[in-house]
């Protein structure tokens, strides 16, 4: 390492630190929606990745629309696209709950199968509507390139954007669940469904909105990831494994657990990746997860799940 100056090494350390934080924000954003649905409702949503893809395709659609009709609005369309992704994915989630999930609440293993079927249907729909090729929306200029605080440090702008978005969404979710009266009803339903119904909470409506919220957040995640990667019909299935890993490791019903787990997985992975090769880093990370889960089967933060 003799040929490097201290400032160069310092810069790389700083950038590597940011790479870890950036991965943390990506994992957290992916897992939040799933954690809400899994944690609050006990439904394993195998189609979570596809709801992300819905968000990504919405963003792509908005980008093409803006480019052809309102090119002057290109710098701003992305923010609207994120909002729309939330609404579209949320609406689809609402419909899915109404048409499919609510009939299967008493059969948790069947929801697993049904949502997996749903994911296949959605994948083929993407293929029919948008084609099999991977697509990328045209990004506004302010999302491209890097921020250079010093001569040798480049911090990716898209990474900073995803980080900020994750922070906003996480705070929003916390506010909704723990400070609003709606959140109070959701938590009450989670803890005791029959009693909640008895005191006048419309538990069916709560279920539907919880599911829609989870899917909507998946939509936001999908929109944000268009800044990092491309979107294809099977993009969702790439993310689903990492997403489940974060949620299960964190403890199925705990949002704090999800955050802690996303952070530890991201840091472990990015630090290992720096010193050994990418594939092996993943192997060691997963190995560590398996060992920890053997001793703590409920995950990092265990709490009550609806029985």
DSSP lists the bridge partners of residue 147 as: 155
Which of 58, 189, 210, 270 contacts another protein by CB under 8 A? 270
Radius of gyration for the chain, computed over Cα atoms and rounded to the nearest angstrom: 20
In angstroms, give the least distance from the CB of 198 to another protein: 47
- 146-147 vs 155-156, strand pairing mode: antiparallel
Which of 156, 216, 222, 257 contacts another protein by CB under 8 A? 156
Which of 282, 298, 302, 305 contacts another protein by CB under 8 A? 282
Which tokens hold the place of 38?
A: 């899994």
In angstroms, give the least distance from the CB of 284 to another protein: 13
In angstroms, give the least distance from the CB of 287 to another protein: 15
User: What are the φ/ψ torsions at residue 187 (nearest 5 degrees)?
Assistant: -65, -35
Using CB under 8 A as the binding rule, whether residue 124 contacts another protein is answered as yes
In the complex with another protein, the residue whose CB is nearer, 166 or 270, is 270
Classify 299 as helix, strand or coil: coil
**Number of shown-chain residues binding another protein (CB under 8 A):** 47
Q: Which span sits near another protein by CB under 8 A: 98-106, 153-161, 193-201, 245-253?
A: 153-161
Which of 25, 119, 166, 235 contacts another protein by CB under 8 A? 235
In the complex with another protein, the residue whose CB is nearer, 195 or 241, is 241
In angstroms, give the least distance from the CB of 214 to another protein: 22
The rounded distance, in Å, linking the Cα atoms of 157 and 164 is: 11
Using CB under 8 A as the binding rule, whether residue 134 contacts another protein is answered as yes
Which of 42, 67, 105, 154 contacts another protein by CB under 8 A? 154
Residue 54 burial by Cβ neighbours in a 10 Å radius (0-12, 13-18, 19+): buried
Candidates 146, 145, 114, 148; CA nearest to 45 is: 114
Classify 69 as helix, strand or coil: helix
117-147 burial, b at 16+ Cβ within 10 Å, e below that, comes to ebbeebbeebeeebeeeebebebbeebeeee
CB atoms within 10 A of CB 304: 12
Using CB under 8 A as the binding rule, whether residue 133 contacts another protein is answered as yes
Sign of the four-CA dihedral 28, 33, 37, 43: negative
The rounded distance, in Å, linking the Cα atoms of 196 and 13 is: 51
Which of 83, 112, 157, 292 contacts another protein by CB under 8 A? 157
In angstroms, give the least distance from the CB of 175 to another protein: 29
Q: Which span sits near another protein by CB under 8 A: 49-57, 101-109, 132-140, 295-303?
A: 132-140
The rounded distance, in Å, linking the Cα atoms of 291 and 14 is: 30
Which of 77, 225, 249, 263 contacts another protein by CB under 8 A? 225
User: What are the φ/ψ torsions at residue 155 (nearest 5 degrees)?
Assistant: -105, 120
In angstroms, give the least distance from the CB of 200 to another protein: 46
In the complex with another protein, the residue whose CB is nearer, 99 or 276, is 276
Catalog residues that contact another protein under the rule CB under 8 A: 4, 12, 15-16, 18-20, 22-23, 26, 124, 127, 132-136, 138, 144-146, 148, 154, 156-159, 225, 227-230, 232-235, 238, 269-271, 273-274, 277-279, 281-282
């Amino acid at each position: 390492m003799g040929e490097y100056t201290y400032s160069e090494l310092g810069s790389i350390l700083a950038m590597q630190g940011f790479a870890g934080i950036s991965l943390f924000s990506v994992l957290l954003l992916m897992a939040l929606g799933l954690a809400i649905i899994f944690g609050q409702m006990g439904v394993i949503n195998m189609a979570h990745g596809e709801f992300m893809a819905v968000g990504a395709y919405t963003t792509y659609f908005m980008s093409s629309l803006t480019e052809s009709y309102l090119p002057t609005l290109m710098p701003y369309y992305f923010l609207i696209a994120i909002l729309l992704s939330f609404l579209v994915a949320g609406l689809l989630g609402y419909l899915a709950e109404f048409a499919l999930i609510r009939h299967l609440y008493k059969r948790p293993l069947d929801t697993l199968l049904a949502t997996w079927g749903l994911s296949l249907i959605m994948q083929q729909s993407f293929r029919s509507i948008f084609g099999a090729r991977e697509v990328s929306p045209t990004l506004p200029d302010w999302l491209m390139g890097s921020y250079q605080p010093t001569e040798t440090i480049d911090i990716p702008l898209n990474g900073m954007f995803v980080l900020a978005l994750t922070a906003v969404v996480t705070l929003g979710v916390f506010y909704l669940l723990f400070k609003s009266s709606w959140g109070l009803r959701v938590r009450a339903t989670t803890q005791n469904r029959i009693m909640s119904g008895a005191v006048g909470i419309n538990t069916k409506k709560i279920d539907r909105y919880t599911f829609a919220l989870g899917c909507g957040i998946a939509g936001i995640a999908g929109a944000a990831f268009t800044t990092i990667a491309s979107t294809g019909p099977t993009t969702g299935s790439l993310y689903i494994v990492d997403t489940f890993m974060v949620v299960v490791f964190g403890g199925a019903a705990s949002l704090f657990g999800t955050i802690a787990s996303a952070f530890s997985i991201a840091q472990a992975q990015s630090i290992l990746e720096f010193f050994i090769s990418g594939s092996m880093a993943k192997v060691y990370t997963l190995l560590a997860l398996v060992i920890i889960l053997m001793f703590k089967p409920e995950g990092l933060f265990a709490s009550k799940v609806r029985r």
